[in-house]
């Protein structure tokens, strides 16, 4: 497995690896890899000739007071996991390589970024758009792989890719979970044992939502209320948001909308804080009441 720390080296090595018209599958991450990342790498390995991983904790997507400085890192473990997934090249730039000076260009994806994490983390998706745009230009992947844990990010990146004519196919991977249902996240490492136990409430509330959503008379507002009540049952949970929106447009659904009459795919998305740790999770639903096939493309 090739490790590149500079853009010049990345370009040179990629030029050789992709020669003869090979397809390149690209998995962008912030490192501290887990099975969620591994599942994306394996998916890329199945479909593409060359698999490229990037590990870069992108300062531009962190707001003031967020966890940029303490974001977990373990390069040695990450490289071992990447290699075990059949990754061909890891791009590991330092901050100065990606941002030699403060960029004057911004990538603003409007509409889709006004709710959910875009509302709680102002400027977050501008930073994601900027770095993903830069990485797409540097790697020129045939396909890029993103996890549905960050469902809003998927909607944003798909829109940016179409709007800016990046010649990249966006492939999504389903949410990988711990045996008790907690979505894997690099940030889970911040949780105390008590918080970790309580954090199962995110996925549990979504499972309960799945059972409730097709009950006659269940409305969008009723489902949100039930999910909020379930989360508030965990002593240390502080809700950032619980929202039910159409997916992928992220348009609002009227509170009195009976869900069994809704013919479009919708998402129930959560962000919940335990102390200073903010966790997200979501589930997609279609009108049959099942979890939407969209989550497992």
Ligand X SMILES: Nc1ncnc2c1ncn2[C@@H]1O[C@H](COP(=O)(O)OP(=O)(O)OP(=O)(O)O)[C@@H](O)[C@H]1O
Ligand Y SMILES: CC(C)(CO)[C@@H](O)C(=O)[O-]
| Residues with active-site annotation | 37
- What minimum distance in Å lies between the beta carbon of 2 and ligand Y? 19
Q: CB–CB of 27/40 below 8 Å? A: yes
Q: Is 58 in the site for ligand Y (CB under 6 A)?
A: yes
Q: Is 98 in the site for ligand X (CB under 6 A)?
A: no
- What minimum distance in Å lies between the beta carbon of 17 and ligand BAL? 26
CA distance readout (Å), 162 to 3, 133, 158, 186, 265: 30, 12, 6, 29, 21
Polymer length of the chain: 297
190 vs 259, beta carbon nearer ligand Y = 190
Among 4, 38, 117, 131, binds ligand Y (CB under 6 A): 131
150 vs 243, beta carbon nearer ligand BAL = 150
- What minimum distance in Å lies between the beta carbon of 12 and ligand X? 26
Return the closest-CA partner of residue 143 out of 116, 173, 118: 173
For the residues of 201-231, what is the DSSP string, one character each?
HHHHHHHHHHHHTTSTT-BHHHHHHHHHHHH
The residues in 5-64 that bind ligand X, with binding defined as CB under 6 A, are: 29-30, 36-37, 39-40
Q: Is 153 in the site for ligand Y (CB under 6 A)?
A: yes
9 vs 66, beta carbon nearer ligand BAL = 66
134 vs 219, beta carbon nearer ligand Y = 134
Quote the Cα angle for 70-87-171, to 5°.
85
Binding site annotation covers 30?
yes
Among 78, 88, 150, 243, binds ligand BAL (CB under 6 A): 150
- What minimum distance in Å lies between the beta carbon of 233 and ligand BAL? 26
89-91, strands of its sheet edge to edge:
2-4, 89-91, 50-55, 24-29, 143-147, 169-173
Site string for ligand Y, 25-54 (x = CB under 6 A): ---xxx------------------------
CA distance readout (Å), 232 to 198, 242, 263: 10, 11, 30
- The residues pairing with 283 across neighbouring beta strands, listed in sequence order, are 268
Quote the Cα angle for 210-159-46, to 5°.
70
- What minimum distance in Å lies between the beta carbon of 261 and ligand X? 31
The residues in 156-215 that bind ligand Y, with binding defined as CB under 6 A, are: none
List interacting residues with ligand BAL (CB under 6 A): 30, 61, 150
List interacting residues with ligand X (CB under 6 A): 29-30, 36-37, 39-40, 146-147, 149-150, 173, 175-176, 183-187
List interacting residues with ligand Y (CB under 6 A): 28-30, 58, 61, 128, 131-132, 150, 153
């Amino acid at each position: 497995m090739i490790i590149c720390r500079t853009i010049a080296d990345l370009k040179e090595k990629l030029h050789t690896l992709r020669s003869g018209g090979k397809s390149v599958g690209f998995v962008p991450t912030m490192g501290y890899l887990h099975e969620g990342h591994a599942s994306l790498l394996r998916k890329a390995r199945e479909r593409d000739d060359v698999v490229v991983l990037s590990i870069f904790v992108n300062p531009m997507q962190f707001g003031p007071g967020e966890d940029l400085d303490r974001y977990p890192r373990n390069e040695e473990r990450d490289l071992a996991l990447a290699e075990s997934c059949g990754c061909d090249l890891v791009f590991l730039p330092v901050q100065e390589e990606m941002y030699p000076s403060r960029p004057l260009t911004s990538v603003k994806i409007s509409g889709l970024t006004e709710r959910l994490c875009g509302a709680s983390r102002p400027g977050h998706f501008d930073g994601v758009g900027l770095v993903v745009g830069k990485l797409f230009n540097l790697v020129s992947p045939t396909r890029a792989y993103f996890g549905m844990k960050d469902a809003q990010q998927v909607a944003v990146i798909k829109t940016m890719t179409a709007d800016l004519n990046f010649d990249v196919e966006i492939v999504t991977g389903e949410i990988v979970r711990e045996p008790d249902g907690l979505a894997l996240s690099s940030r889970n490492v911040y949780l105390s044992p008590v918080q970790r136990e309580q954090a199962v409430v995110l996925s549990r509330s979504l499972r309960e939502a799945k059972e409730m959503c097709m009950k006659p008379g269940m409305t969008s507002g009723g489902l949100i209320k039930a999910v909020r009540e379930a989360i508030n049952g965990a002593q240390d949970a502080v809700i950032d948001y619980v929202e039910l929106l159409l997916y992928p447009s992220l348009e609002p659904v009227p509170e009195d909308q009976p869900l069994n009459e809704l013919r479009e795919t919708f998402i129930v998305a959560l962000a919940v804080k335990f102390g200073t740790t903010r966790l997200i999770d979501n589930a997609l639903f279609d009108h049959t009441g099942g979890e939407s096939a969209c989550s497992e493309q």
